[in-house]
Amino acid sequence: MKFAVLVFPGSNCDIDCYKAVEDTLGEPVDYVWHTATDLSAYDCILVPGGFSYGDYLRCGAISRFAPVMAEVAKAAEEGKYILGICNGFQILTEAGLLPGTLRRNMSLKFRCHDTVLRVENNENPFTAQYAAGEEITIPIAHGEGNYYCDEATLAELKKNNQIIFRYVNNPNGSVDDIAGISNRRGNVVGMMPHPERAVDALLGSEDGKKMFTSILKAWRDRHESASVR
């Protein structure tokens, strides 16, 4: 399975994502610059955190015009796995690949600390190895992590089981304590907390590991059943 880690000017979690794939899975992974126009070689695209384009206008508002984003949309359409973490989540909402938006934290302060998340949906390629309702410790580091969507969109998210993680103690004012969501099909996930910073006991938590191993298992299951057919 081949992973891409997108890099925008101002990304700062690209190396963490790369290392998380390398150390947790040992699968091939490449950095892919934001001007790339071909992602066909990749099975999973990680959109990492950071301050792309200095967070000017709104977080992710400029990045969504990067040439690579047309390829990300194509990959989503093809059913490939796409995970946006923090600034990556912001970029995916700005690009319209996930519903809703991220606003300034309710406190108007940058928040950087561990959070406890509840796994709300484990019937998803990104979370299948967690137990439903499992509580995991994953750090946040953001100034604009306050997830917002209108009531009709929230009703849709609930109806289609698109809420993947909720905060146990809401750190930013997100509607319905939402920490991570998927698209309707379930192959695109965005989350504000950073699982790639929780893949080793030395980092304070290993609870993010299962996101990476879940993706690999989902891909293998799909791949193997396709080759048996």
- Residues in contact with ligand GLN by the rule CB under 6 A: 49-51, 55, 59, 86-87, 141-145
Residue 142 bears catalytic tag:
no
Q: Which is nearer to ligand GLN, 21 or 218 (CB)?
A: 21
Q: Is 24:211 a contact under the CB 8 Å cutoff?
A: no
Tell me how far apart the alpha carbons of residues 90 and 220 are, in angstroms, rounded to a whole number.
Answer: 29
Q: Which is nearer to ligand GLN, 59 or 66 (CB)?
A: 59
Residue 144 bears catalytic tag:
no
Q: Is 72:39 a contact under the CB 8 Å cutoff?
A: yes
3-state secondary structure 166-185: EECCCCCCCHHHEEEEECCC
Tell me how far apart the alpha carbons of residues 94 and 100 are, in angstroms, rounded to a whole number.
Answer: 9
Tell me how far apart the alpha carbons of residues 209 and 11 are, in angstroms, rounded to a whole number.
Answer: 21
From the list 17, 59, 86, 149, the catalytic residue is 86
Question: Closest distance between ligand GLN and the C-beta of residue 207, in Å?
Answer: 18
Question: Closest distance between ligand GLN and the C-beta of residue 198, in Å?
Answer: 14
What's 52's DSSP letter?
G
Tell me how far apart the alpha carbons of residues 62 and 180 are, in angstroms, rounded to a whole number.
Answer: 22
Tell me how far apart the alpha carbons of residues 85 and 107 are, in angstroms, rounded to a whole number.
Answer: 21
Question: Closest distance between ligand GLN and the C-beta of residue 82, in Å?
Answer: 16
Q: Which is nearer to ligand GLN, 1 or 85 (CB)?
A: 85
Question: Closest distance between ligand GLN and the C-beta of residue 196, in Å?
Answer: 11
Q: Put the strands of the sheet holding 111-119 in their side by side order.
A: 29-33, 3-7, 44-47, 81-85, 188-191, 178-182, 163-167, 111-119, 135-142
Question: Closest distance between ligand GLN and the C-beta of residue 57, in Å?
Answer: 12
Q: Which is nearer to ligand GLN, 104 or 217 (CB)?
A: 104
Residue 196 bears catalytic tag:
yes
Q: Which residue is nearest to ligand GLN (CB)?
A: 49
Q: Which is nearer to ligand GLN, 1 or 50 (CB)?
A: 50
User: Which H or E run contains 32?
Assistant: strand 29-33
Query: Which residues are part of the catalytic machinery?
Result: 86, 194, 196
